[in-house]
Amino acid sequence: MPAKRIAVVDRDRCNPRKCGLECIKYCPEVRMGVEDTIKLVDSTLVIDEELCTGCGICVKKCPFSAISIVNLPAPVEGEEVHRYGINGFTLFRLPVVRPKKIVGLVGPNGVGKTTSISILSGNLKPNLGRIDEEPDWEEIIKRFRGSELQEYLRRLSNGEVTVINKPERIDKIPKVVKGKVKLVLEKIDERNLLDEAIDLLSLREVLDREIKELSGGELQRVALTAAYIREGDVYVLDEPSNYLDVYQRMNAAKLIRRLQEAGRSVILVEHDLAVLDYLSDYIHVLYGEPGVYGVVSYPHSTREGINIFLDGYLPDDNVRFRDEPISFLQRVGSPDISEKIVVSYTKLAKKLNGFSLHVEEGEIHSGEVVVVVGPNGIGKTTFVRILAGELKPDDGIVLTEGVKVSYKPQHVKPTYEGTVESLLRKAAGSNYSSPYFRTEVIKRLGIEKLLDRYLDEISGGELQKVAIATCLGREADIYLIDEPSAFLDVEARFAAAKAIRRRIKGEDRAVIVVEHDLLTIEAAADRIMVFRGTPGREGHASKPMDPRKGLNIFLRDVDITFRRDPETGRPRVNKPGSKMDQLARARGRYYP
């Protein structure tokens, strides 16, 4: 049966008070007397899914771009799990919780990952798509009869399953948890494993600090520790790698693995594909229209599930959920670097708040993307701020006379009071109207639907996209972009990497990117700068070098090895002690 086309409303953008309701006036069904096709209910626009024909006229008439046409997911009709009201987001199917296994969820933001884990945690009772009456647990369990979820939901409804949650929004923790880190953690140490977690996640230095004083990375490690030391049957970990550098991500992964080794089940929501691949036993791919509907795939093996996600085609449902696959270019030999130098610098030294940074002399050439890698607190942001002119080196010279610099800082805040479009127009000037900028930056990053929104109304991920676009929109010789993948889902990370490369290729410009996501690093880098040392005390930065050499040094420090997937060419983390891991170490090839 072909999918039916209907109009859907983005309620965050719809503003009936400020428009003439042209969408209702021009709807052909309404004009023909079918009054209930599109109407206002309590100041909210509602479109009847049964009566709407998906003609698209209302889409063209809406001044806020709040209406869009989507295909209802016909392949999963009748498998609704939960719906948030009339025309609200609908989730189809649920991930499967498997005993003593780690089940990973991958997909773009807004397609149901949070709804899925809320149901599996027992925090949200599924309504099976019915908004008029709430089904009882007996009916819900019966709906999943014959599946692995039936017994799990039965035990969940009877209170026989203890679920431990590690939330996504760790920035909200200080608002509800008060006190010193050590005292807070000791109160919930139900498994007597606090010392083990503290050592693995390097938390000794923050134990006597107040929760409200912690940085994002420290809060994330405390939240992971809090989940780990509690007694539960199922552990739901929502984006555990946020704010963490690669070293900390691998240590967090070891901690999560120990939950599985102790016989616990784990549900993992993660946007770092290297971490997801390293940890998961099974993968569910989620797809759909963000904010409208989401579909959970059937479980796949880790390799198959991630490859399906990258390919953008799900054979189970015969659905292509992305226009083009995400591909990986295997590098052969050293990259071609232009002879034209955009920025050069001598040996640099900088002391700041008890931290000392030393940078080897180097040159940044036109047309190249240099990616800066290393642990948190090692001086990467300090180096970028020196190039941006925000800090002056104590020793050494940066030759940037006459060079225009565009800088996106690590932490993005909505300080501008206007709309996204007005900000981009102000930053990009004439570039804003160029087909190239609109296609390669605005469209690629998915900013088109945000143009009429105010910056204080958008999410952290949306704000990050706008910040990247603002930086790339400016006329500059060198672009400095600090942690562009923070808060972005997998698709947005690769889109950002491609937008950055496309912006400067073939032009006399260059980019320096600070990044922690290993797959994004590979997708973006022409050369690599490796920062090493003691976090918080001293850092040493190498010259820009060949990415294969740089990543090999970096991964040796992290103590992990990679191999190539034969189907997609993507790098995959080897399990510690495996034959592939031992072979890579013996050859000294940590990066394939």
Give the 3-state secondary structure of 474-526: CCCCEEEEECCCCCCCHHHHHHHHHHHHHHHCCCCCEEEEECCCHHHHHHHCC
Give residue 335's pLDDT. 63
What is the tens place of the pLDDT at every residue in 394-413? 999 998 778 999 999 988 88
Query: If you ran DSSP here, which 8-state letter would residue 578 be given?
Result: S
Given a cut of 90, whether residue 585 has pLDDT beyond it is yes
Q: How far apart are CA 481 and CA 431, in angstroms?
A: 19
Using an 8 Å Cβ cutoff, are 238 and 170 in contact? no
Are residue 478 and residue 577 in the same domain, yes or no? Answer: no
| Mean pLDDT to the nearest integer, 369-384 | 94
Give residue 507's pLDDT. 80
| Mean pLDDT to the nearest integer, 274-293 | 93
Are residue 122 and residue 28 in the same domain, yes or no? Answer: no
Given a cut of 90, whether residue 470 has pLDDT beyond it is yes
Length, in residues, of the chain: 592
- Specify the number of domains making up the chain: 4
SS3 of residue 402 by DSSP? coil
Q: Between 292 and 393, where is the model more confident?
A: 393
What is the tens place of the pLDDT at every residue in 184-209? 999 999 999 999 999 999 999 999 99
What is the tens place of the pLDDT at every residue in 488-526? 999 999 999 999 988 888 788 999 999 999 888 988 899
The crossing angle, in degrees rounded to 10, of helices 490-504 and 460-473 is: 10
Which amino acid, one-letter code, is at 28? P
Which amino acid, one-letter code, is at 494? F
CA 578 to chain centre: 29
Residue 449 lies in a domain: yes
Are residue 370 and residue 269 in the same domain, yes or no? Answer: no
Cβ neighbors of 404 (< 8 A, separation 6 or more) are 474, 475, 476, 477, 478
Are residue 132 and residue 270 in the same domain, yes or no? Answer: yes
Are residue 421 and residue 525 in the same domain, yes or no? Answer: yes
Using an 8 Å Cβ cutoff, are 90 and 83 in contact? yes
pTM: predicted TM-score of the whole model, two decimal places: 0.84
The crossing angle, in degrees rounded to 10, of helices 547-558 and 246-261 is: 50
Residue 489 lies in a domain: yes
Give residue 73's pLDDT. 52
Using an 8 Å Cβ cutoff, are 237 and 269 in contact? yes
In which domain, by residue range, is 574 found? 560-592
Q: How far apart are CA 453 and CA 447, in angstroms?
A: 10
Residue 408 lies in a domain: yes
- Radius of gyration over alpha carbons of the chain, in Å? 25
Given a cut of 60, whether residue 228 has pLDDT beyond it is yes
Query: How many Cα neighbours within 13 Å face the side chain of 412?
Result: 26
Are residue 552 and residue 566 in the same domain, yes or no? Answer: no
Q: Which residue, 19, 51, 72, sits at the end of a domain?
A: 72
Give residue 1's pLDDT. 38
Are residue 169 and residue 229 in the same domain, yes or no? Answer: yes
Given a cut of 70, whether residue 72 has pLDDT beyond it is no
Are residue 49 and residue 96 in the same domain, yes or no? Answer: no
Residue 319 lies in a domain: no
CATH number at residue 55: 3.30.70.20
Give residue 11's pLDDT. 73
Using an 8 Å Cβ cutoff, are 72 and 459 in contact? no
| Mean pLDDT to the nearest integer, 318-340 | 74
What is the tens place of the pLDDT at every residue in 437-451? 888 899 999 998 889
Are residue 83 and residue 63 in the same domain, yes or no? Answer: no
Greatest alpha-carbon pair distance for the chain in Å reads 78
Given a cut of 60, whether residue 75 has pLDDT beyond it is no
Give residue 590's pLDDT. 94
Residue 331 lies in a domain: no
CATH number at residue 407: 3.40.50.300
Given a cut of 90, whether residue 304 has pLDDT beyond it is yes
Residue 326 lies in a domain: no
Are residue 120 and residue 178 in the same domain, yes or no? Answer: yes
Query: If you ran DSSP here, which 8-state letter would residue 442 be given?
Result: I
Give residue 62's pLDDT. 87
Write out the two tokens for 120.
Answer: 């599996």
Are residue 350 and residue 432 in the same domain, yes or no? Answer: yes
Residue 334 lies in a domain: no
- Closest by Cα among 531, 527, 462, 523 to 495: 523
Given a cut of 50, whether residue 123 has pLDDT beyond it is yes
What is the tens place of the pLDDT at every residue in 21-61? 888 888 888 877 777 788 887 777 888 877 888 888 888 88
Write out the two tokens for 474.
Answer: 């400016």
Q: Buried b vs exposed e over 515-543: b needs ≥16 C-beta within 10 Å?
A: bbbbbbbbbbbbbbbbbbbebeebbbbbe
What is the tens place of the pLDDT at every residue in 243-272? 899 999 999 999 999 999 999 999 999 999
Are residue 254 and residue 117 in the same domain, yes or no? Answer: yes
Write out the two tokens for 505.
Answer: 């290729």
Cβ neighbors of 105 (< 8 A, separation 6 or more) are 95, 113, 116, 117, 267, 268, 269, 270, 283, 284, 286, 296
| Mean pLDDT to the nearest integer, 565-574 | 89
Share the mean pLDDT of the chain.
90
Residue 222 lies in a domain: yes
SS3 of residue 40 by DSSP? strand
Q: How far apart are CA 70 and CA 288, in angstroms?
A: 10
